[in-house]
Structures are given as structure tokens and as C-alpha cells.
């Protein structure tokens, strides 16, 4: 005991003195009140941890004081004192809220034990009430969060019977919590997949989270495309009590996907068709079928054809990126010799490099290398990287294409962590490393990862000789990913950039379609 304050309420001075001495000897602090009126006055002026309250007193007896204390000081613990033979009154007092009672005459040890026990009990009760209030508050917060969620939430027990729904689930499924309770989850969620594939059922069967399962939910006469995930519902002892499934209505996303499909269809027809007509008309003029063409006129016509070709290439790149993302890009993969494959690409860009005053170099491994690739997609991948290097390298600069063979462990160490596609990358065996290095303007460090996203360009690269669409590098990444490879960039502002990609040579895995 370390200084708890006790109010002794007794009209007998000698008994009050004995209590005072014994309690203070045990470390308590005491104050005496001679009757109930003084006791209430003392309580209004200062706090106490416990009251030793005599039952029989002048002016106001102990029972009446007890009733006042319970109304005005509900957290205060009261121990009644009564003469031997009046225990029935003390028991009545306990029914009215007293924690314990002491019969006079009392032993010092018994009295102190009862005081200590009453104080401990009261502190425990107050702490439990505080924790219960906090728990109730957290429960109300959680209920408000769950009921305010736009996504549906369905909780089920260990047998798969519904135990709770949030407001969104009630609204969309057309079932109240009371009506849905104890219903098997597959009856509530009328899905187009087997019951055992519902995420909540998968969690019950495996004990592991089940993420991002797409299915169609039939509710209120509608077919709703949803994306659902579920996790175990775990008790305080770590045992699984059931599972909780979160279901997101992705109708809006599906509508956006359809709009994107429509947009892509428009690109392939409504844009390419007039460009084709323009190219045909310009060719007629350039071939002098409509009259003589001067040298200056021919240069303008060539520029027009070049611009149209770039526009068609941009449209094709956008279409191909879309096909890759939709999983509809078919690859014609064959074993190709590396030297003619790269040599053919560089031969196309050699005149452009010379015109720009750039040196173009190719470095190959000494041995013959065979790589399994889609020849056309690989050529476009290299073409995009070389085109970027030429765009952003000033006259007198240098562009080098370097190819090398690396082993699996060494290949993994080459790839910066932010670019590694998976923990088991690369596959065992050898990989082909191709680097395209330039001496151009470089790329800011904070843009090295994002430049492979669609429609993204580093700020300083928007100021190159020719502005781009931000699709070329996105296409490059899709091609490399489809071949189970990895692509990344290294750069320093003002010192040029190096784009590298790895392709497996002998992992035995066919490229993804």
C-alpha cells in the first residue's frame, strides 16, 4: 500500500483512533468524519479511495449515507462497520452497493485484509469498466467503418454459414443481417463459379488468404461483375473462427474496359484508314504521276510520308501494348541466330545515325548465340531502344549495342531490386544480356522506374530532337515480359543512359502469349 486515502466515518472516537493508527501503520492516509453529514461534506471536498462507514450514527445513519454515495460517487468503494449480531443489516447494505463489511469488535489483520481486498476489487472494477468502454467505442467505430464501406463484406463461421453483413452487402444482395444469418454463404452469394471456389470457402478449406477472385454475382435481378478476396477470421487464441470476404463491384471498371476496347477499335480503323489514304495520295504526287516535282517539293513530300509512318507506328505500338495487356498478343517464337538478328536492326538505323552525326557500334559474343524470340517483336523492341538513343544523343555522340552471355546467379545480381519481376528470377541456366548505351542527356534517377509505364516520359527527355508518345518503352517492357525476361535502365544526367534487358537462353520455358 502506498498512500491510498481512506475516510473513516464513526461517531466513536476510540474506534476511529484505533482504525486510524492501524491503517496509517500499513501506509494508508486517513481522514475521520464523526457522522454521515461530515462524511458527505468531506467527500465533496477531496477524493478518497475507500470509506469505512459505520452503520449506526447520529443525524444520518450509514445506510442513508451509503445510498447518497452510490448516487453521487458511484466509483467510490464502501466497507460497512457494524456491531456483532447486526450482520443482517450489513448484508442489506451490501445489496445496496457496499463492497464488504466488518463486524465489531474486529481484528487488525482481518480489517486490513478486507480494506486491501476492497480497494483492489474496486480498482479492478474501474479498470474493467474503462476497458469495456474502450472496447464498446472501438466496436462502434468498426461497425461504422464496415457499414460505411462501399465494398460488400460477408463474414461466415467455420461451417460457412453467414454471421454478419455490412450495409453495402445488405443493399446489393437484398438481404438483411437477420435474414441472412446462418444461411450457407453459397446461397447468399449466387455466383457463376462453384461454391468451393468462393474465396470465403477457399479460406475455410486452406486456412490461407484467398485474393483477387473474379466472378459474376447474381443479385436483385442483375449480373454484377465482382472482384473478391477473403481472409481467415481468427480468435484470441489463434484458432480460426471463420472467414471474411470483401467483394468489390467492378461494373464501372468493366465499363471502362469496354470504352478502352471501343477506343482501340476506333484507333485501328478511324485513324489508320485516313492516314493510309494520305500516304497513297502523297505517293502519287511524289512519283510524279500528277506532274513534275521539284527537289524542294520532294523533300516536303518525304517529310509528310515520314510523319505518317511515325503516326502509324505510334498507333501500332498502342494497339500492341493493349493486346499484351489483354493477353491477346500471339508470339511467333523461333530459334534465331543473334548476329544477323541484331545486325539487321542496326543496318536499318545506320543511315539515320550517320545523318545525325552519331557513331553506331555493335559488340557481340565470340561464340554463336541462338535465342528463342519472336523476330518481329524483337526487332521492334531494339528499334524503339535505338530510336530513343538517337533522339536524345547530340551530334558527335556514340551509341553502342552490346550483347553478352551471363549465368543465372550473375544475371540476378545485375538487375536492380526495383526491376526484378519475381523472387525466382532469372530461371536457372544462361541468359542473354543486351545493352543499348548512349552518350545523350541522361534520365533523372526518380524517373528510371516510371519511364516503362504507358504515356510516361522523363521531363528532360521531352525536350529531345523529336517528342515521343511515351509508349515505346512500355511496348519494350511488354515484349521482354512476354519472353520471361527483365528490362531496366541505368543513367546519369549529362552522361548518357544504358538500357539493358535479359532473355533466358536455355530455361526450357516457352514465352507467354
What CATH number corresponds to the domain at position 470? 3.30.565.10
pLDDT given for residue 253 in this prediction: 84
- Say if 142 falls within a structural domain: no
- Say if 133 falls within a structural domain: no
Q: Which of 279-288, 394-403, 455-464 has the highest mean pLDDT?
A: 394-403
- Say if 511 falls within a structural domain: no
**Is 473 in the same domain as 360?**
yes
- Say if 92 falls within a structural domain: yes
| pLDDT tens per residue, range 461-491 | 545 445 556 678 888 888 998 888 889 999 8
**Is 199 in the same domain as 180?**
yes
**Is 355 in the same domain as 394?**
yes
**Chain Cα centroid distance, residue 499:** 30
Which of 258-262, 303-307, 353-357, 474-478 bottoms out in mean pLDDT, i.e. has the lowest? 258-262
Owning domain of residue 94: 5-128
**Is 202 in the same domain as 294?**
no
| pLDDT tens per residue, range 203-252 | 999 999 999 899 999 988 889 999 999 999 988 888 999 999 999 999 88
| pLDDT tens per residue, range 417-468 | 777 665 556 666 788 999 999 998 888 888 888 888 766 665 555 454 455 5
**Is 234 in the same domain as 260?**
no
User: Three cell numbers at 123?
Assistant: 480498482
**Is 294 in the same domain as 356?**
no
**Is 376 in the same domain as 299?**
no
- Say if 380 falls within a structural domain: yes
- Say if 443 falls within a structural domain: yes
Q: What is the separation, in whole angstroms, between the first and last Cα of the chain? A: 77
- Say if 156 falls within a structural domain: yes
CATH number at residue 210: 3.30.450.20
pLDDT given for residue 510 in this prediction: 43
**Is 169 in the same domain as 63?**
no
What is the maximal distance between C-alpha atoms in the chain?
135
Q: Contact 42/31 with Cβ under 8 angstroms?
A: yes
What is the bridge-based pairing of β-strands 77-83 and 100-104?
Answer: parallel
**Is 293 in the same domain as 354?**
no
Q: What is the mean pLDDT of residues 347-355?
A: 90
**Is 353 in the same domain as 321?**
no
User: Three cell numbers at 201?
Assistant: 470457402
Could you tell me the sign of the dihedral formed by the alpha carbons of 281, 283, 286, 292, in that order? negative
Alpha-helical runs (H) found in 189-294:
199-206, 251-266, 272-286
| Number of domains into which the chain is organized | 4
Q: Contact 470/454 with Cβ under 8 angstroms?
A: yes
**Is 354 in the same domain as 497?**
yes
Global pTM?
0.51
**Is 285 in the same domain as 232?**
no
The Cα 363–Cα 344 span in angstroms is 14
Indicate whether 291 pLDDT > 90.
Answer: no
The Cα 160–Cα 407 span in angstroms is 50
CATH number at residue 35: 3.40.50.2300
With a CB cutoff of 8 Å and minimum separation 6, the contacts of 156 are: 162, 163, 185, 200, 204, 242, 243, 244, 245
Amino acid at each position: 500500500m502506498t498512500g491510498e486515502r481512506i475516510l473513516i466515518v464513526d461517531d466513536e472516537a476510540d474506534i476511529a483512533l484505533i482504525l486510524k493508527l492501524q491503517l496509517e501503520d500499513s501506509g494508508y492516509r486517513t481522514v475521520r468524519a464523526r457522522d454521515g453529514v461530515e462524511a458527505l461534506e468531506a467527500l465533496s471536498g477531496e477524493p478518497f479511495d475507500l470509506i469505512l462507514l459505520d452503520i449506526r450514527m447520529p443525524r444520518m445513519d450509514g445506510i442513508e449515507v451509503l445510498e447518497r454515495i452510490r448516487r453521487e460517487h458511484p466509483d467510490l468503494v464502501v466497507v460497512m462497520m457494524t456491531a456483532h449480531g447486526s450482520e443482517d443489516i450489513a448484508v442489506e447494505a451490501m445489496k445496496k452497493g457496499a463492497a464488504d463489511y466488518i463486524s465489531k469488535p474486529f481484528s487488525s489483520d482481518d480489517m486490513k485484509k478486507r480494506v486491501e481486498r476492497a480497494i483492489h476489487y474496486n480498482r479492478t472494477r474501474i479498470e474493467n469498466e474503462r476497458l469495456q468502454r474502450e472496447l464498446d467505442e472501438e466496436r462502434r467505430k468498426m461497425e461504422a467503418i464496415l457499414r460505411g464501406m462501399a465494398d460488400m463484406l460477408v463474414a461466415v463461421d467455420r461451417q460457412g454459414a453467414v454471421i454478419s453483413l455490412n450495409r453495402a452487402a445488405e443493399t446489393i444482395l437484398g438481404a438483411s443481417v437477420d435474414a441472412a444469418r446462418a444461411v450457407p454463404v453459397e446461397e447468399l452469394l449466387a455466383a457463376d463459379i462453384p461454391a468451393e471456389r468462393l474465396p470465403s470457402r477457399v479460406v475455410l478449406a486452406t486456412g490461407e488468404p484467398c485474393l483477387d477472385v473474379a466472378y459474376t454475382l447474381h443479385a436483385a435481378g442483375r449480373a454484377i461483375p465482382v472482384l473478391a478476396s477473403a481472409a481467415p477470421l481468427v480468435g484470441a487464441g489463434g484458432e480460426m473462427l471463420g472467414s471474411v470476404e470483401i467483394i468489390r463491384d467492378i461494373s464501372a471498371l468493366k465499363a471502362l474496359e469496354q470504352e478502352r476496347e471501343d477506343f482501340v477499335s476506333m484507333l485501328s480503323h478511324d485513324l489508320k484508314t485516313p492516314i493510309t489514304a494520305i500516304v497513297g495520295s502523297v505517293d502519287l504526287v511524289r512519283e510524279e504521276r500528277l506532274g513534275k516535282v521539284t527537289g524542294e517539293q520532294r523533300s516536303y513530300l518525304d517529310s509528310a510520308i515520314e510523319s505518317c509512318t511515325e503516326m502509324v507506328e505510334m498507333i501500332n505500338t498502342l494497339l500492341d501494348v493493349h493486346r499484351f495487356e489483354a493477353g491477346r498478343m500471339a508470339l511467333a517464337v523461333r530459334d534465331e541466330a543473334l548476329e544477323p538478328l541484331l545486325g539487321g536492326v542496326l543496318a536499318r538505323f545506320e543511315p539515320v545515325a550517320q545523318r545525325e552525326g552519331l557513331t553506331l557500334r555493335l559488340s557481340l559474343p565470340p561464340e554463336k548465340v541462338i535465342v528463342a524470340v519472336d523476330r518481329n517483336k524483337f526487332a521492334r523492341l531494339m528499334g524503339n531502344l535505338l530510336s530513343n538513343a538517337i533522339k536524345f544523343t547530340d551530334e558527335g555522340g556514340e551509341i553502342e549495342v552490346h550483347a553478352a552471355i551471363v549465368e543465372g546467379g550473375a544475371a540476378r545480381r545485375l538487375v536492380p531490386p526495383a526491376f526484378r519481376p519475381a523472387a525466382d528470377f532469372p530461371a536457372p541456366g544462361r541468359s542473354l544480356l543486351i545493352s543499348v548505351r548512349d552518350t545523350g542527356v541522361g534520365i533523372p534517377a526518380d524517373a528510371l522506374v516510371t519511364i516503362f509505364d504507358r504515356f510516361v516520359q522523363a521531363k528532360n527527355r521531352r525536350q529531345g530532337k523529336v517528342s515521343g508518345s511515351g509508349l515505346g518503352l512500355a511496348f519494350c517492357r511488354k515484349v521482354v515480359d512476354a519472353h520471361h525476361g527483365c528490362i531496366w535502365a541505368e543513367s546519369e544526367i549529362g552522361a548518357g543512359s544504358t538500357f539493358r534487358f535479359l532473355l533466358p537462353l536455355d530455361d526450357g520455358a516457352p514465352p507467354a502469349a
